[in-house]
Each structure stands twice: as structure tokens, then as C-alpha cells.
Amino acid sequence: MKRGIKYLIIMVVMIITIMNSYADGHILAFHRFGDDRYSSSNITLEDLNEIVDYLNENQYKVISLNEIIEKISKKEEISDKIMCITIDDAYKSFFDNGLEVLKRNNFPFTVFINTEAVDKNYTDYMTWKEIKEVSKYGEIGSHSYSHPHLTKIGNQKAMDDIQKSIEGIEKKINKKVKYFAYPYGEYNDEIKWMLKSIGMQGIFNQSLGAISGESDIFDLDRMAISNLSGLKWKLKIKYLKAHWMNVEREENYIKSIKVEIDKSIKKVQVYLSGYGWEKVDVENGIIEFKINKELRNARNRVIIKTYANEWSNKLMMKK
Ligand SMILES: [Zn+2]
């Protein structure tokens, strides 16, 4: 009997280990490097080096956005050792501190640039000369012109702002801009559609999630990273294939959601920003959940998480 219990415990530990060790690929987002004046958007060089050592020691493979998008387009399986690195905002601290580390490790990367700050020589931002130098080693994407809250300024203004940035980058570095990352990670369906219509080949948000061959290349999850322990738990997040059939909303009140997921999943947890997680039963692959809550923040997320740690996100902007 005692032996039986021992085996049972070993089996449970093994299952938990397997569940935790297999995930999908991930895209990391960084902002400032070694700039201790800003704790929330900065990674210290000690933390960066610790992460780089961890990735190398654990055989992670850093690939470019071109490569991961090609894999997704072919619906290839994306291993949990695949990773992409992106950097937002064109801060000078990337040029001064971050670039060298990525170069030394042969890690490809993409920098998303908000071009007004560069055009107007704001302090703390790279110059065009520096960005040109960066573009020898990594790709340059757009992060808008003036870094606005895109969902708040009206569609025409949003479109003009985005296009001004893309044209500016293409003129200065003489390469086509293919990728866009939302300022503040804020977007809605109309902004996403707009970016697709002007030929963006990959769009990047800032929501916790993983990348699989079934990801939407126009809505790719990126995770902000500031230290190794944060990285470790975020790398365990897996991709959940979910079809968001309906989100019933009245102004800033969310009434209900209806989401289709795999029929084998019987229970999930649902999260709304400011309220926490709730256990929800799944009926024949359909999650029908009455949320009945008011949005509390400017940016809110509804997250569905399975017990195998697969995540799917929906961003809800307060109006
Ligand atoms: Zn930004």
C-alpha cells in the first residue's frame, strides 16, 4: 500500500513536470537597458546578463520575427525553446547598453521606433545615425509617430500617425517596414484592420501569451520582461487556441463572453482586470460566462486560462 502511494506521488510529479516543461514559443518585449532612473520599464544589465546566460545554458534559440512569422504562416509547430526579442521606444539606453549584449550573443532582434522622438532629438532617444547602425544587426519596425493612445484619437488621426512613422523609417534606413507594435499595447479591431490594410505583415501587442503555429500573425502576444524569475514563469505559459465568438458589452460594462475552445477541456479559469480569476465550466467546448462587471482600468484584459496553463487574451479598452 505504501509503495502504491509512493508510485502515485512519483506519477503526479512527473505529470506536473511534463505539463510545465512543454510550452510554445515566446516573444519578449524590452524598453530601457541599464537605466536605473526608470524601474518599471528598465532591465538592469545584471538581470539582462542573467537572462542571456539562462537562455544559452538551456538551449533556447532566439530567432528573428521574419523566421517566426514564416513558421506561423506554414502552420509549423513552434518549440518551447524558440524565442524572439523585441525592443520598444528607441531609447538611447538600448544603443548604449543593450545592443552590445545582443550582438555578442548573435541574438536577432527587432526595435520598434516611435519616430517623432527621434526626428525631434528628444533626450534619451537614439539618433537616426544610431538607428541606422542598429539596423545592421536587427530589424526596425514602427511603434507609431507620436506614441499616442491609438484608440482614443479617432481613426483618421491614428492612420496618419502610423503612416507618418512608417514613411519616416523607410526614408531614413532605406528598408521596408513590415512590423508594427502598438504604443502602450492598446488597440481595437479597427486599428488592427487598418494596419493590415496598409500591408503590415506582423502586428505585436503586449499581452501575456505564447506563440504557436496557430497564432494570428496580426495579433501576436509579447511579454514584457524585467528579470529572470519573471521570465521563468512567463515561459511556462502556453498557447490556447480560442475562438472569441462574442463579447457582449454595453459601454464600459461587460455582460458576457462566448468563446470556443477544444472540446476536451472541461474547466477553465477566467480573469478580468481588477477582479481576479473565476472558475468556469466548459460545455462541449463552449465557454459561456456572464461576467456582469464594469471595466475598472483604461486597459482591461479578459484572460482564459486552462489547467494546463494555456492562455488566451482579449484586450478591452475603456471608452
Ligand atoms: Zn512604447
From ligand 1's centre to the CA of 181, what distance in Å? 8
Domain at 23-239: CATH architecture: Alpha-Beta Barrel (3.20)
Query: Phi and psi dihedrals of 283, rounded to 5?
Result: -105, 110
Q: Residue 195, Cα to own-chain centre: how many angstroms?
A: 17
From ligand 1's centre to the CA of 142, what distance in Å? 10
What is the chain's pLDDT, residue by residue, as a tens digit (319 residues)?
567 777 777 766 555 555 544 569 999 999 999 998 998 899 999 999 999 999 999 999 999 999 999 999 999 999 999 999 999 999 999 999 999 999 999 999 999 999 999 999 999 999 999 999 999 999 999 999 999 999 999 999 999 999 999 999 999 999 999 999 999 999 999 999 999 999 999 999 999 999 999 999 999 999 999 999 999 999 999 999 999 999 999 999 999 999 999 999 999 999 999 999 999 999 999 999 999 999 999 999 999 999 999 999 999 999 8
- pLDDT reported for residue 20: 46
Q: What angle do CA 144, 145, 149 make, to 5 degrees?
A: 60
From ligand 1's centre to the CA of 199, what distance in Å? 21
- pLDDT reported for residue 9: 73
* Residue extents of the structural domains in the chain: 23-239, 243-317
Q: Which residues are paired to 314 by β-bridges?
A: 302
From ligand 1's centre to the CA of 179, what distance in Å? 14
From ligand 1's centre to the CA of 31, what distance in Å? 8
From ligand 1's centre to the CA of 133, what distance in Å? 21
**DSSP letter string over 150-214?**
TTTS-HHHHHHHHHHHHHHHHHHH-S---EEE-GGG---HHHHHHHHHTT-SEEE---S--B-TT
From ligand 1's centre to the CA of 85, what distance in Å? 15
Task: List pLDDT tens digits, range 54-79.
Answer: 999 999 999 999 999 999 999 999 99
C-alpha cell of 218? 496580426
From ligand 1's centre to the CA of 147, what distance in Å? 6
**DSSP letter string over 50-118?**
HHHHHHHHTT-EE--HHHHHHHHHTT----TTEEEEEEETTBHHIIIIIHHHHHHTT---EEEE-HHHH
From ligand 1's centre to the CA of 36, what distance in Å? 18
From ligand 1's centre to the CA of 65, what distance in Å? 18
- pLDDT reported for residue 54: 98
- pLDDT reported for residue 21: 45
CATH class of 243-317: mainly beta
CB atoms within 10 A of CB 213: 15
Q: What angle do CA 181, 273, 256 make, to 5 degrees?
A: 100
From ligand 1's centre to the CA of 165, what distance in Å? 13
